[in-house]
Amino acid sequence: MKVLVTGGSGFLGQEICRQLVARGIVTSSLSRRPSAALERLGVRQHRGDLADLDAVGVAVAGCDAVLHNAALAGVSGPAVPYLATNVLGTRHIIAACRTHGVRTLVHTSTASVVFRPGGLEGVDEYLPHPRRHLAAYPRSKAVAEALVLDADGPELATLALRPHIIWGPGDPHFAPALARAVHAGRLFMPGDGGNLIDTTHVRTAAHAHLLALDRLRQRPELLGGRAYFIGQGEPRPLREIAHGFLAAAGIRARWCAVPARLARAGAAVADVALRNVGSTRTHSLSRFLVAEMLEPHHFDLTAARRDLGFTPPIGFDAALAELTRTAVFARTDHGESPCRTPTTPSVPS
């Protein structure tokens, strides 16, 4: 079997490629930048942008399945860049699959497609997309997910996975952003951090993609056109998660709670100000970011367990211990220390 992974050079994409190669699957990647890690794995690399239909077609040709993982992620910024990558890019993937006779398409969506004010507590896949999203990123991903699921049919079986806050060794998003947000031993965060959040270790997320690939090929009539939440299934208070990630990096910080009303007001002002100046930053203070830091978001994984045979290959505590060992090795081996430049932490959802 020949499988294309879009965004194979990214954090999750590389882990998906590693697991595919370990199973002896001929793996290729479509990314905008080359990856030395993928070269070492023997992954064939196609360079190109999802907005370029010709480049997408070249990468898809000859493949039996596509794992569409590439996306522009962020918590702020204008709609156009997200639409170009997440929506137009997904249209191109679907079109190329149909043109080249690809029978299986697994799409990496996000749990944020259903996020709304008030949060999400143990919700399942029957919860519909909200009428309005708090940012362009979840809105664009909701459109892309709908495109993929609507494309399901006899000639192309499709499925979407909704992982949430992907982390692990090499995480370029959540843990580093927390480390940068620490200043003088203090971590200023919206609320008291008691809201329960589920996360997804990178190996768990990649494992779910391989399960989805197998099961969708075996039972397209059962799984086709469906979306599945993916996570560790171990919701923890945000404060506990943040302190755990910081401790893994060797950082001790005191949680300093910013009142919720003040945080929401500041985020609303920031959204307007950034829009007025035409900012294109994707990881600035925003209403979406503050809402995800103040409110619960965890999910019912029953459908993934039943239909995909999904079980996280590593538990949260074991994964955190692994993250600690990896960070200690990195500091010892390279003499590096975590960056502590003050900034707003971002939530890769």
Q: Measuring CA to CA, how many Å separate 34 from each of 31, 37, 60, 298?
A: 7, 9, 17, 35
Q: How far apart are CA 106 and CA 64, in angstroms?
A: 12
Joined together, the tokens standing for residue 272 give 């307007």
Q: Is residue 75 classed as helix, strand or coil in its secondary structure?
A: coil
As given in the structure block, the two tokens for residue 238 are 């945000």
Active-site choice (82, 126, 137, 228): 137
137 is catalytic: yes
Q: What gap in Å lies between CA 231 and CA 219, rounded to an integer?
A: 23
Cα separations (Å) of 183 from 167, 263, 340?
Answer: 22, 18, 6
Pairwise CA distance, residues 87 & 62, whole Å: 24
Q: How far is CA 29 from the centre of its chain?
A: 17
Angstrom distance (rounded) from CA 90 to CA 86? 6
Compute how many other C-beta atoms are within 10 angstroms of the C-beta atom of residue 296: 18
Cβ atoms of residues 257 and 342 within 8 Å: no
Give every CB contact of residue 161 below 8 A, 6+ residues apart in sequence.
Answer: 106, 107, 108, 109, 205, 208, 209, 212, 227, 228, 230
Structure tokens at 342: 């003050």
CA distance 348 to 73: 7
Distance in angstroms (rounded) separating the CA atoms of residues 291 and 342? 20
Distance (Å, whole) CA 321 – CA 67: 29
Q: Is residue 24 left, alpha or beta, with left meaning phi > 0 and alpha meaning psi from -120 to 50?
A: left
Which residues does the annotation mark as catalytic? 137
